[in-house]
Amino acid sequence: MKKILFKKILIDCLTFFLITLFSTSIIIWVFQAVNFLDIMIEDGRDYIVYINYSLLNFPKIISRVLPFVFFFSFFYVITKYELNNELIIFWNFGVNKLEFINFFFKFSILLTIIQLFLVAIIVPKSQDKARSFLRTSSVNIFENFIKEKKFNDTIKGVTIYSESKNDDGSLNNIYLKKENNLNNFQITYAKKGIISNNNNNPILKLYEGETISVINNRTTRFKFSESDFNFKNLETNTTTYIKTQEVGTDNLLRCFMRLGDIQLFNLDTENIILTNCVRKNLSTVIKELYKRLIIPFYLPILMLIILFLILRSKENSNYSNYRMIIFFFGMITLVSSEMSLKFIKTDIIENLKIIIIPLIIILILYTIFYTFLFHERQKR
């Protein structure tokens, strides 16, 4: 009978949790998809790229909302069981409260492992794939983002301006600047420009203009009747830089060990797929690792906080206030888990003090449970 009872409450909790998780994630995804649409239009991407890029960001949304949905869902279901006199059935069939606590704590450990897998493996891979998808997709540069009388610097190192745009897509009075660095740049003026596409290679044909080249502070000028500007090997600013959250956890660990001069698990610290693995970025790398590998361990803490609900019944006169206090502490824990990221520094000893906080809190909460239930048993 105990197995049936535990199975029923777990199914109820999981059903409500999964429905809430996916519905909330979809709502957030829709709002983010609108923002992505602006980026795609600015970048000159087509709708296939937009849809794929948006979908690849869905795992990240799930990982972000999961702790909040987890707390609200299990808090709601266990409260509902108490208010509907269903928890008392457990106690009448010989389920002691510590057994109930251990059952849900074990489940929270399983969910923590799933969250770890999600944030440490799935999310970085999906984010990297989304960025790679942008890099390898074709950019419909001219039709989408060149606007009349507006400077556009979407392409890295290139600024384009056109005074007007004709119905056939050609441009009038064009300003184009290509900059490698402060001492090396090229400025081109042209009366007219025509867009052409040679095997998915966008080219801007310029007519009746002049190019001013500055190389190591030496200036040269030449006029032309016709000239081509090739966009083949140029990238947009949204695809240029690899972000830390897109890097695999294994590479972040290698970078951390190389920068911290640490040898662990015989990992190769030389071949790192992280172009910005330099000392000044050590703090960013450590914070990303903390976010992936430590914050998920706040889920068992949230579960233990929720389970304080079973220590009192609705028959107590102050049960509503007691329930609100538990909800308040759960919210503080959720916020604190995110805020703790700000206290992560490059000092390993100081970071260890923050890393062991979840373990200390779990031990304290379990001690409170054991003490309370022991005294409750003694009274009987």
Tens of pLDDT, residue by residue over 177-234, are: 888 776 788 888 888 888 776 666 677 888 888 888 888 778 888 888 888 877 665 5
**347 secondary structure, DSSP code:** -
Q: Do residues 252 and 370 both lie within one domain? A: yes
Amino acid sitting at position 144? N
Range among 50-59, 116-125, 160-169, 344-353 rated most confident: 116-125
C-beta separation of 185 from 214 below 8 A: yes
- Of the given ranges (17-21, 64-68, 156-160, 249-253), which has the lowest mean pLDDT? 156-160
Q: What is the mean pLDDT of the chain?
A: 83
pLDDT at 165 over 90: no
Among candidate residues 235, 257, 287, the one where a domain is terminated: 235
pLDDT the model gives residue 62? 96
Query: What is the rounded (10 degree) CA torsion for 270, 273, 276, 279?
Result: -30
pLDDT tens track for 301-342: 999 999 999 998 888 888 899 999 999 999 999 999 989 988
Q: Do residues 353 and 217 both lie within one domain? A: no
Q: Do residues 274 and 316 both lie within one domain? A: yes
Q: Do residues 55 and 106 both lie within one domain? A: yes
Residue 160: which of 170, 169, 148 has the closest Cα? 148
Q: Do residues 154 and 263 both lie within one domain? A: no
Q: Do residues 97 and 170 both lie within one domain? A: no
Measured between alpha carbons, how far is 7 from 15 in angstroms, rounded to an integer? 12
Measured between alpha carbons, how far is 123 from 121 in angstroms, rounded to an integer? 6
Q: Do residues 257 and 280 both lie within one domain? A: yes
Mean pLDDT of 141-155: 66
Domain count, the chain: 2
354 against 194, higher pLDDT: 354
Measured between alpha carbons, how far is 192 from 173 in angstroms, rounded to an integer? 6
pLDDT at 252 over 80: yes
pLDDT at 362 over 90: yes
pLDDT the model gives residue 269? 47
pLDDT the model gives residue 41? 58
Range of the domain at 260: 2-136+242-379
Among candidate residues 212, 235, 258, the one where a domain is terminated: 235
**pTM across the whole model:** 0.76
Among candidate residues 235, 268, 299, the one where a domain is terminated: 235
Residue 297: which of 39, 96, 74, 112 has the closest Cα? 112
- Of the given ranges (253-262, 343-352, 366-375), which has the lowest mean pLDDT? 253-262
Q: Do residues 42 and 27 both lie within one domain? A: yes
C-beta separation of 357 from 365 below 8 A: no
Sign of CA dihedral 94, 98, 100, 103: negative
Measured between alpha carbons, how far is 74 from 140 in angstroms, rounded to an integer? 48
pLDDT at 131 over 60: yes
Q: Do residues 116 and 248 both lie within one domain? A: yes
- Of the given ranges (7-16, 252-261, 344-353), which has the lowest mean pLDDT? 252-261
Q: Do residues 43 and 102 both lie within one domain? A: yes
Q: How confident is the model at residue 247 (pLDDT cuts 50, 70, 90)?
A: confident
Q: Do residues 344 and 262 both lie within one domain? A: yes
Q: Do residues 226 and 263 both lie within one domain? A: no
